[in-house]
A = this chain, B = another copy of it.
Amino acid sequence: MRQLNVAIIGCGTVGGGVWQALRRNQDLLEKRAGIRLRVSCIVVKDPDKKRFVRLPKRLVGSDWKVAVDDPKTDLVVELVGGVATARKVVEKALGLGKPVVTANKALLAAHGDSLFEKAKNRQTGLYFEASVAGGIPIVKVLREGLLANRFPRIYGILNGTCNYILSRMQEEGEDFSSILAEAQLNGYAESDASLDVNGLDALHKTAILASLAHGFWVSPGDIHVEGIRHVTNLDIGFADRLGYRIKLLSSILSRKQDRDVTEIQATVCPTLVPYNHGLADIDGVFNAINVHGDIVGETLYCGQGAGAEATASAVLSDIAAAALDSLKLADGTAEPTAPCSGCQWQPFTALTQNGKVIAWEDVVSKFYLRLTVTDAPGTMAQIANVLAENTIGISSIIQPEGHESSSVPLILMIHDASVRAMNQALKRIRNLSVVKAAPVMIRVDHFQ
């Protein structure tokens, strides 16, 4: 059995998880892949730091350059996180023609195009199963399992922290900040949770999935993103009365596809999901991806989207794939039909030169609208007039009774309208004297 030497750069949560999982199942993994895997080096910032795993002293290094450069290193596993150092690590390894496994969604979303280009030029591979949805092998499913399909619709719950917070808000009736604080205490949220709750983590994953599915490089900057900070208990409660749950939903919809240009709609935002849809049931830290293929129909993939172990499962699967590809390259038997990555399936940028994400303003959707209004005659008429003038239809209204204060909530469910029309109407509505606070607008998706 041939052997591959693996340098692991970074040993935080994910790196520690990979080391532990490898300790547990190395025999099995080697038998299944038919390759001997040897961790030759684990690079950490501070070798003396206490960690949740014990690392053999002889393997621990503190200079990633030495580890990557080492001629004995066949494969580099980048688990540094962040963008700055991680980018240098990956670029250096690829520059040396060494394959790289990474779980780094932020890095790929920011610099994936140039990194994949570099891998292609150096005839080596960049593997990233762990970068989206943790333990769910969604990259493999899209790239290989559903290879024969176009993807008219992909929906995802891609951030476990947000999903945990929203689930708990729904169950407990407590507000965002107290649930967040509790989640931070028990380890379900980072101490700096802004990447998660502002939607950026989900955004990075959405950009990667969109690129994979549609064959052009989708930049995160082109995707509309909203986090969950503005989702209140009031909204969760009204949504519930209307038959919906609020989820931070990624959606990637195919809009137009012809020879010249592929147009998609890609968004990450809190969304009202009907109770009877499978994604409404995905609770807590779980991730789920609902993939519509034009041949296969609707499919659903669900599992833990983060955490040391789930992510380690994906990293190890990629290490095995990279190891196999890499041995082929070492033999000079690189697959000539897939010149770009050293792996047998074309990377996602191989398909289309021209792709485009439609602007948020042009997105057409149903909406949930919560206004804070004066409980006085004529209020509804004024609001309804503004909506009518912007050709926006109302599908249902809730105005709860029994409020003593002069300001009451008014919930409007809006028929399909463009974001542009909604923004125009809301600008005018906000200026009405009967409207007492900034309107709250949340997307509604019926998955049709």
Contacts and interface: CB of A to CB of B under 8 A. Distances in A.
Interface of A: 1-2, 21-22, 24-25, 28-29, 31-35, 129, 135-137, 140-141, 143-150, 215, 278, 281, 293-304, 307, 309-310, 312-314, 316-317, 320-321, 324, 327-328, 331, 333, 335-338, 344-346, 350-351
Chain copies in the assembled complex = 2
Given A148-B316, A313-B293, A316-B295, A335 B328 contact: yes
Contacts of A350: 31-32, 34
Contacts of A1: 337
A150 B25 contact: yes
Contacts of A146: 135, 137, 313, 317
Contacts of A327: 335, 337
Nearest to A351: B31
Given A135-B146, A147-B317, 11 more contacts: A24-B294, A31-B351, A32-B346, A34-B337, A140-B140, A293-B313, A296-B314, A297-B304, A324-B337, A327-B335, A333-B333
Contacts of A145: 129, 137, 140-141, 314, 317
Given A34-B337, A345-B32, A141 B137 contact: yes
A29 B294 CA distance: 13
A148 to B, nearest CB: 4
Nearest to A337: B34
A297 B133 CA distance: 13
Contacts of A34: 337-338, 346, 350
